[in-house]
A and B are shown apart, each in its own frame.
Chain A
Amino acid sequence: MRRRYRTDKINYSIFLLAFLLATLLSPLLASQAYANEPLPKGIIKLNGKIAPPLILNDMDEKRFDLTKSRGHWVFVHFWATWCGPCRREMPTIQSMSEKFGNNPQKTAPEIVLINTAESEDTVFNFLGIVAPDLNSLLDTDGLVTEVWQPRGLPATFFVSPDGKLRYLALGDRDWNHAEYIKFLESLK
């Protein structure tokens, strides 16, 4: 009888400990959702170095400074209108952005587009047709892109809340696809 009471007590203690650990670690586990499972196709892990400077004006001449975005994830996307895969991918970024925007329950990274070395007119005309709800930073001389050195265009970096380069999306994809939405939702 006493032995059984003792076993129950141990089991209860283990349960309590597991419950406490799960409660305490759940936010951490959520942010590490992809720590132990394969990343979606075309997403690679980076070494976590501090993101290069990113200070540019957008199409409304509003200044953006990446250092002001600490505390949340940032989706930093380099593109150009002449790049075929960029043209294909841009509408999917708009759809993905709408999906998150329409559902306030879903947290999402801040979307920052950077056009590489094109004129404001070119960017305005293109986005006006392809993704009218998106704005883009204008790297008019291409020098910020040179500093970031994407592997090619398009390229998307994921900057973590502490300002570090954590992931890179190689080339283009449908950001509206379930596996990428799941990945974006895991970035908390």
Chain B
Amino acid sequence: MKFTPSLLLILALVTSTSLVAAELYTPKYEDNEIMLRIVERTPENISAFYQGREFEKKAIDEILNTCYFTVIVKNKTQTTLWLELDNWQFSRGQKLISRIKRDYWKKRWDTINLIQAHRSTFGWTLMPESRDLRADEGVGGSIVIPKQTEPFTVVANFHTKPDKSGPIKTVTIQGAKCVEDIEPIK
């Protein structure tokens, strides 16, 4: 399997997600060129993961103030597919949602004096901003947007071919959500 990225959340959270996995929605698109899947994360999932990496509470709280979800993409073609997050669009109805980018995190981490090791670990858990996906290669990582109370739509555009001269591949996922912890059944 050639999933290069910060797939940490995928496996490392398996244990913590097991209790709620049945309830979580994992929107997915797949055809013969691409597979794109969104894995929603509850605050409990996210806390468990970063606590396990010895992150301070104030750092975890910063992450929990946002809508943080994991995206997995696999290039199923035999040519290059370009992952460029600036070509992705997040929206709710007619309203566009701005993605929270890496410079935001640098400012937040500076504010709380997060240690370099944790900045590095957090950085590797995020989806790369821009990268070519070789034939049959996958990538995974987290994407962050401001918290949303309603479901939102993700439109992911990918240039194709090594020189980006191929047709643009577009994938639309509707009904993605920022999930909250699920109350235990009483």
> A-side interface residues toward B, CB under 8 Å?
41-42, 44, 80, 82-85, 87, 116-119, 140-143, 145-146, 150-155, 170-173
Known contacts A82-B12, A87-B11, A171-B138; is A152 also within 8 Å of B120 by CB? no
In the A-B complex, the 9 residue pairs with the smallest Cβ-Cβ separation, listed nearest first, are A142-B120, A84-B11, A152-B4, A152-B5, A171-B2, A117-B120, A141-B116, A82-B8, A117-B117
Known contacts A151-B131, A152-B139; is A85 also within 8 Å of B124 by CB? no
Which interface class (under 10, 10 to 19, 20 to 34, 35 or more) fits B?
A: 20 to 34
Is B6 within 8 A of A118, CB to CB? no
Is A170 within 8 A of B120, CB to CB? no
Is A83 within 8 A of B6, CB to CB? yes
> B-side interface residues toward A, CB under 8 Å?
1-8, 10-12, 49, 52-54, 115-121, 123-124, 128, 131, 134, 136-139, 141
Which residues of chain B are near A143, meaning CB under 8 Å?
Answer: 116, 120
Which residues of chain B are near A87, meaning CB under 8 Å?
Answer: 11
Is B4 within 8 A of A153, CB to CB? yes
Which residues of chain B are near A155, meaning CB under 8 Å?
Answer: 4
18 contacts between A and B (CB under 8 A): A41-B136, A83-B6, A85-B3, A116-B121, A116-B124, A118-B117, A142-B120, A143-B120, A146-B120, A151-B5, A151-B131, A152-B4, A152-B139, A152-B141, A154-B4, A170-B134, A172-B2, A173-B2
Q: How far is the CB of B84 from chain A (nearest CB, A)?
A: 15
- State in angstroms the CA–CA spacing of A154 and B134 once bound together: 16
Is A85 within 8 A of B7, CB to CB? yes
Is B4 within 8 A of A151, CB to CB? yes
Is B5 within 8 A of A84, CB to CB? no
Is A84 within 8 A of B12, CB to CB? yes
- State in angstroms the CA–CA spacing of A82 and B124 once bound together: 11
Interface of B is mostly: mixed
Is B117 within 8 A of A80, CB to CB? no
| Known contacts A141-B120, A151-B4; 4 further A-B pairs (Cβ under 8 A) | A44-B134, A83-B12, A141-B116, A151-B5
Is A153 within 8 A of B134, CB to CB? no
Which residues of chain B are near A85, meaning CB under 8 Å?
Answer: 1, 3-4, 7, 11
Q: How far is the CB of A115 from chain B (nearest CB, A)?
A: 11
Is A141 within 8 A of B117, CB to CB? yes
Is B8 within 8 A of A152, CB to CB? no
Is B119 within 8 A of A142, CB to CB? yes
Is A153 within 8 A of B6, CB to CB? yes
Q: How far is the CB of A147 from chain B (nearest CB, A)?
A: 11
Q: CB-nearest residue of chain B relative to A140?
A: B117
Which residues of chain A are near B117, meaning CB under 8 Å?
Answer: 117-119, 140-142
Which residues of chain B are near A84, meaning CB under 8 Å?
Answer: 7-8, 10-12
Is B5 within 8 A of A153, CB to CB? yes
Which residues of chain B are near A151, meaning CB under 8 Å?
Answer: 4-5, 128, 131
